[in-house]
Amino acid sequence: MILGITKNGVKRYIAAAFPSACGKTNLAMMTPTLPGYKIECVGDDIAWMRFDKNGQLRAINPENGFFGVAPGTSKSSNPIAMKTIFKNTIFTNVAETSDGGVYWEGMENEVDPNVKITDWLGKEWDRKNSKTPAAHPNSRFCTPANQCPIIDPEWESPEGVPISAILFGGRRPVGVPLIHEAKNWKHAVFM
């Protein structure tokens, strides 16, 4: 994952590595709540990194789009993703709505309660009585990156963007501090 953060006219790029369904897309498409900050997305998943001839770590997004986990994605959790997937998008294993839309867990407040839903297995699904999810837990959307309203102007730069920091994340709720700063690049590899 690669994103650009601008504050007071100074832009820095960070890369991040998390397992699937740990928030890479939400982080890459974050809407800042702090005044004066701007976030731009280079990519929400894979980052190819190398050092340039001056020793600057640079990263590119080798993908041409986003392949995101659908359940949990909503206008409240990730409004940028919802704007990005509005058109030209392929959905896999999601539920269908009777008005021609899609549905998955997390969209409960975004679909009219009178709309009928067919689950990912092709069966009628009832919000109140169905015991199984409407969409497969690993259902996905695949959409072009250039549709993202906050796509970074350098997202296709062949030189890549200069990386100032790398975040690593995972699913380990105990035993490891939430945030831990490395002393240098070698120490970070050791960690």
- Euclidean distance between CA atoms 85 and 96, whole angstroms: 15
**Strands lying side by side in the sheet with 65-69:** 65-69, 140-144, 90-92
Give which of 10, 19, 42 is closest to 167, Cα–Cα.
19
- Euclidean distance between CA atoms 154 and 145, whole angstroms: 12
* Catalytic residue IDs: 22
Instruction: Kindly give the pairing relationship between strand 140-144 and strand 95-97.
Output: unpaired
Supply angle C-alpha 56, 59, 62, rounded to 5. 155
Supply angle C-alpha 176, 179, 183, rounded to 5. 100
DSSP code at position 147:
G
